[in-house]
Structure 1
Amino acid sequence: MRFLVAECEPPQAREKRRESVGRSSGETYLEVLHKLAPGAECDRIKPTDSCAEIPGREALTEYDAVFLTGSPLHLWQDSPEARRQIDFMHRVFASGTPSFGSCAGLQVACVAAGGKVRPMGDRREAGFARRLVATERGRAHPLLDGRPASYDAPAIHTDEVEALPEGATLLASNRVTRVQAAEIRCGEGVFWGVQYHPEISLREVAAALRRQSDDLLEHGLARSNADVEQLAQQVDALHAEPNRADLAWQLGLDDQVTVPEYRTRELRNFIEHLVKPTRAKRGR
């Protein structure tokens, strides 16, 4: 199989993430995809960069899947970076290549297909999205195959989908963010996406908490930087020892987050239930 990872991070955010966790969002995706699909050929591009060469429709048809990463990019702002990312997604839809996105990746697909994204205001999901529940349509959708009736997932975002495009299917919600998972069809393309982050490790969750410490204080989710650091240290410790029941209990987490095979379930489902059947239809 041949995969293309499209990094939604602008250059400054990409380097800031590398400083805190050692890799960009696209590099995280590459590592996870190599584990989920050993032997797959994976390329990475950076559509937000002004100097980036964006593949056209025909070039995109040579891939079996396209993955869009998370990012602090605000899709509700008219910026050159946002326009480049949305233009890239238009090409993905036109190519008919199956696509998947997490966090900003979902928001990019939504806007490109005619939906809307907005800032969350004072609400936040920082660290983990709690009590995610599939909709009636979501319970039968292969993206969420194997997920329990209610589950948690890594999540870090300050924007959300305000309105899905026409014809999209809402698959999961919680009390903080209505659109947590969705299927979007546009032109020849099919996109499956989630607002949370099935691709990131607990170590990356801890790093994200540290990067967003000031924002957490501003919105009353922590009283001090020391509070944020204490939480990040617990998450780091659980990453190092995922079988520690005491840390999982203190953080209110179960195996849906602590076990990598469960945490990455949506990515695995996308490859098994959409990418491989589409590849077979194309005679590859």
Structure 2
Amino acid sequence: MRILVAESEPPAAREKRRESVGRSSGETFIKRLAALAPAATCDRVKPADRGAAVPDAAGIEGYDAVFLTGSPLHLYEDTPETRREIDFMRAVFRSGTPAFGSCAGLQVAAVAAGGTVRSMRDRREAGFARRIARRQAGEGHALLDGRPPSFDAPAIHTDEVEALPPGGTVLASNSVTCVQAAEIRYGGGIFWGVQYHPEISLREVAAALRRQAADLIEHGLARDETDVEVHAAAVDALHREPERRDLAWRLGLNEQVVDDDQRMTELRNFLTHLVLPTCSARGRA
């Protein structure tokens, strides 16, 4: 299996993330995929970067799956970086290669297919998205196979999908963000995506909280940096000792987030239910 990981982060954000957790968003995806599909070969590209070598639709056809990472880019802004991301995603759709994206990855796919993204203004999901529930179209959908009727997941975002394009279906929502999980069909391609982050560990959640401390304080989710650090430290401690029920209780988390296998449910489902059957159909099983 050949997998292409498209890193949506621009260079400055990529290096800032590496400083805090030792990996870029694309490198995090590659680490998770190594556990879920150890025989797969993963390549990483950087569509947002100026002058980056990025395959066209014909080149993408040589891959069995494409993954799009999160990013601080705002897809409602017309910038060279967002245009390059959207152009890349349209090539993915044209290639017919199954694609998956988390957070901004979902937003890129939505805009590329004709949908819209907006700022959340004062609303935030910072650390975890709570009480995500299937919509009617999500009942029985393979992306959410194994998830309970309501679950939490790692999430940090300031933007959200405002409207899915024609060919888009909302699979799950919560009280904060309508489009928490979706399927998009466009230009001969199919995309499964989530607004949350099944690929990141609790250590990465803690690091993201620290990186975004000023924003959390500005929007009233913390009084000061000490508040942020106390919360991040508890998340970090649960990462190191996932068996600590006291920390899980204090943070309001259960096995859907704390257990690595259950946290990565959507990644596994994408590979199992969409990528492998497509490989077989293409004669590449």
Query: TM-score when scaled to structure 1?
Result: 1.00
CA distance in 2, matches of 1:189, 1:67: 13
Which residue is equivalent to 2:99?
99
Cα displacement string for residues 87-143 of structure 1 (whole angstroms, at most 9, x for unaligned residues): 000100000000000000000000000000000000000000000000111021000
Cα displacement string for residues 135-185 of structure 1 (whole angstroms, at most 9, x for unaligned residues): 111021000000001000000000000000012110000000000000000
Structure 2: gaps spanning 5 or more residues: none
The reply on whether 1:167 has 2:167 as its aligned counterpart is yes
Cα displacement string for residues 232-251 of structure 1 (whole angstroms, at most 9, x for unaligned residues): 00000000001100000000
Which residue is equivalent to 1:267?
267
By how many angstroms is 1:28 displaced? 0.1
CA distance in 2, matches of 1:45, 1:187: 22
CA distance in 2, matches of 1:41, 1:168: 30
Aligned length: 284
Which residue is equivalent to 2:32?
32
CA distance in 1, matches of 2:272, 2:254: 24
Query: TM-score when scaled to structure 2?
Result: 0.99
CA distance in 2, matches of 1:167, 1:272: 22
CA distance in 2, matches of 1:274, 1:26: 21
SS in 1 for 2:3: strand
Which residue is equivalent to 1:130?
130
By how many angstroms is 1:255 displaced? 0.1
By how many angstroms is 1:221 displaced? 0.3
SS in 2 for 1:220: coil
CA distance in 2, matches of 1:26, 1:54: 14
Structure 1: gaps spanning 5 or more residues: none
> Which amino acid letter does the alignment assign opposite residue 185 of structure 1?
R
Which residue is equivalent to 1:84?
84
Let me know the Cα RMSD of the aligned residues.
Answer: 0.4
Identical positions, percent: 70
SS in 2 for 1:271: helix
Which residue is equivalent to 2:256?
256
Which residue is equivalent to 1:240?
240
- Aligned pairs for 1:1-284 within 5 A: 1-284=1-284
CA distance in 2, matches of 1:179, 1:39: 33
